[in-house]
Amino acid sequence: AQVKLDSGVTADMHEGIAELSEEWEKELNKVYNLILKKLSVREKAKFKTEQQKWKKDTEIKLKKAYNKYVEEEGERMAGELAASDSLEATKDRALKLAKMYDKLSK
């Protein structure tokens, strides 16, 4: 995917971001499910609520960013920038959950 991102070709860059986003989403879900296995019933409910809140908050933040990008950069660039923001948000959350899992596994 990195080769596509570095190509400078818009279509390749879109494809690279989509591929990376898909892989980070898989990783996020994998770690999320591993964490669920470590938690008590009460903790699971709290964790699920926290994850739903993160998703909702992230969707709102990304929508606002997209609208800002449309105003500043135009619709074509807005899609690329918003996709990149989405990728980073998912990656950051996956890494945060991985650290949480590591703490639970000690």
Model confidence over 47-95: pLDDT tens digits? 999 999 999 999 999 999 999 999 999 888 888 889 889 999 999 999 9
> Which pLDDT score is estimated for 15?
86
Among residues 62, 59, 99, the alpha carbon closest in space to that of 79 is found at: 62
Using CB atoms within 10 A of its CB, is residue 86 exposed (0-12), middle (13-18) or buried (19+)? buried
pLDDT confidence tier of residue 102, bands split at 50, 70 and 90 = very high
Whether the per-residue pLDDT at 98 is higher than 80: the answer is yes
| Average pLDDT of the chain to the nearest whole number | 92
Taking the C-alpha atoms of residue 74 and residue 54, their distance in angstroms, rounded to an integer, is 28
Looking at residue 22, its amino acid is E
pTM for the full predicted model: 0.87
Are 63 and 55 in contact, with CB atoms under 8 Å apart? Answer: no
Q: What is the pLDDT of residue 3?
A: 80
Q: What are phi and psi of 39, to 5 degrees?
A: -95, 155
Q: Supply the pLDDT for residue 56.
A: 98
Could you read off the pLDDT of 6-32 as tens digits, one per residue?
A: 787 777 878 888 899 999 999 999 999
